[in-house]
A and B are shown apart, each in its own frame.
Chain A
């Protein structure tokens, strides 16, 4: 049984919770490998996908996870809803309570929105990204991806590269990776680091070349153009010089090391076209699609554990 009723952030999860989610994930992966990829586990449960911010991958992943387990899932996207007509978040939430849903999946541009909704409704909530704060399910699926790849996964060295300032994925992943004992460093120019970086207690580098030959996992963050004022931003040329993963840098990576990215990749910025187009043996270390597959299974495990308790 999980020690939490909602998945809001990484801090609230105990190591036992994390183990439980990941061990169940393998059972759900088996279901996803069947010809008939559907089990009746959550029949009669109603889940709402409450997205106040555009998303394709995360939203689809949760939708598939719910449907593979026979839950009823309703999509509620802000642009298509009455939010545009000035309805406040609390009124939206009250409407949803009245609809008697069993679980709410929330993405919102404001940090803390998922927690707010959980407090107001007391319905289990999964945070699918709240502002710059957290994206815990992404971190859990990333951890699963790493765990499946490395036998001795406690000793894994990870570098998280890119825009830490605006990235909720970075916040959740740093916290989770530190929690399970990984050696975590970040690679980012000073203008893309938050002021409270000390809080995370990680090594900070400004150039990807400082870590590329040493780490087991190179985790490329998405450049969040939509969250930026252009002035603060490095140019594409600068980005390529200090942060991008290109063929030359891939050739310097350790033999068994892997490349991850939460998607969607800005080709030619975080990762070069040539690296993205690698095929055959060279592409083994690109786990971007594996992350997506595991994402569905991790979310199935979370839905199962939250709705079963």
Chain B
């Protein structure tokens, strides 16, 4: 559906760019947290999950660690129920203790901040982590809440009628990020 009404305007990241960005973020996370010992990852469904897996894998390779990765669907925590719902709810699966952990929360695009607000509520329901740090592949601006990312792949100024289309191999069988225009 989306593809029909969107016209591609510009390629932002290709496969190699995405790989480089995620490697850089892995190093930044290690630097800030002084290693990987207390880290756990939570990816926001849908495309935050493969991103979380890739970054944690890259850290595991560097540190010889085995970081746990969870999945979070924030549908139950949205603030717009009744206006529009996502009928199909993805699975939430956080099969490890998060109390006193440093959580690396991962999503593909940071926009209004409402998804992150919902994610924070959801995570707190599982326990009290030591910290939550946010990774996004793309920050496109237009925040409606006082939320910012700790690690950003790329900042892209956009207008509100544009759409940032993130495609990842695990979900879409291709790695690329484009800006599209809604037509």
Asked if A36 meets B87 with Cβ closer than 8 Å, knowing A27-B92, A30-B93, A31-B76, the reply is no
Separation of A308 and B80 alpha carbons in the complex (Å): 9
How many contacts A-B (CB < 8 Å)?
58
Verify if A280 is at the interface (C-beta below 8 Å from B): no
> With an 8 A cutoff between CB atoms, is A42 at the interface?
yes
Contact between A41 and B82, CB atoms less than 8 A apart: no
A275 to chain B, nearest CB (A): 35
Chain B nearest CB from A38 CB (Å) reads 7
List residues 216-268 of chain A with CB under 8 A from any CB of chain B. Answer: none
Nearest residue (CB) in B for A21 is B87
Judging by beta carbons under 8 Å apart, are A39 and B77 in contact? yes
Closest A residue to B127 by CB, please name it: A35
- Which chain A residues numbered 1 to 47 have a C-beta less than 8 Å away from chain B? 1-2, 20, 23-24, 26-27, 30-31, 34-36, 38-42, 45
Q: A27-B73, A40-B121, A41-B76 are in contact. Are A307 and B82 (CB under 8 A)?
A: yes
Q: Does A298 contact B (CB under 8 A)?
A: no
Q: Which residue on chain B has the smallest CB distance to residue A68?
A: B76
A309 located at the interface, meaning its Cβ lies under 8 Å from any Cβ of chain B in the complex? yes
Q: How far is the CB of A146 from chain B (nearest CB, A)?
A: 21
Residues of A with C-beta under 8 A to B93: 30
Q: Which residue of B lies closest to A26 (CB)?
A: B91
For B183, list chain A residues within 8 Å (CB).
Answer: none
A residues near B81, Cβ cutoff 8 Å: 41-42, 45, 307-308
CB distance from B67 to the nearest CB of A (A): 22
Among residues of B, the one whose C-beta sits closest to the C-beta of A43 is B81
- Complex Cα distance A30/B112, Å? 28
The reply to whether the CB of B89 lies closer than 8 angstroms to some CB of chain A is yes
Q: Mark B65-100, 1 if CB is under 8 A from A, else 0.
A: 000000001011110011001011111110000000
Q: How large is the interface on A (under 10, 10 to 19, 20 to 34, 35 or more residues)?
A: 20 to 34
Contacts of B82 in A (CB 8 A): 45, 307-308
The 8 A CB mask of B151-164 against A (1 = contact, 0 = none) is 00000000000000
Q: How far is the CA of A94 from the CA of B103 in the complex (A)?
A: 51
Cα separation A40 to B76 with both chains bound (whole Å): 6
Known: A20-B88, A308-B85. A36 touches B126 (CB 8 A): yes
Most buried by B among A1, A39, A307: A39
Partner of B87, one of A20, A42, A69: A20
Q: A69 CA to B78 CA in the complex, in Å?
A: 12
- Cα A1 to Cα B84 with chains together (Å): 10
Find chain A residues with CB under 8 A from B122 CB: 39
Which residues of chain A from 289 to 309 have any CB-CB distance to chain B below 8 Å in the complex? 304-305, 307-309
Interface set, chain A 81-133, CB cutoff 8 A to B: none
Q: How far is the CA of A42 from the CA of B75 in the complex (A)?
A: 11
Smallest Cβ-Cβ distance to A308: which chain B residue: B85
> CA separation between A34 and B92, bound complex, in Å?
11
Q: Is B125 an interface residue (CB 8 A)?
A: yes
Among candidates A24, A31, A42, residue contacting B88 with C-beta atoms closer than 8 Å: A24
Cβ contact of B91, chosen from A20, A27, A304, A308, cutoff 8 A: A27
Given contacts A1-B87, A27-B92, A304-B89, 12 further A-B contacts (CB under 8 A): A2-B87, A26-B91, A27-B73, A30-B91, A34-B126, A35-B127, A39-B125, A40-B77, A41-B81, A304-B76, A305-B85, A308-B81
7 closest A-B pairs by CB: A308-B85, A39-B76, A27-B89, A41-B76, A36-B125, A24-B89, A1-B87
A-B contact pairs, 28 of them (CB 8 A): A2-B87, A20-B87, A20-B88, A23-B89, A26-B91, A27-B76, A27-B89, A27-B91, A27-B92, A30-B91, A30-B93, A34-B125, A35-B126, A36-B126, A38-B125, A39-B77, A40-B76, A40-B77, A41-B77, A45-B81, A45-B82, A69-B76, A304-B76, A305-B85, A305-B87, A307-B82, A308-B82, A308-B87
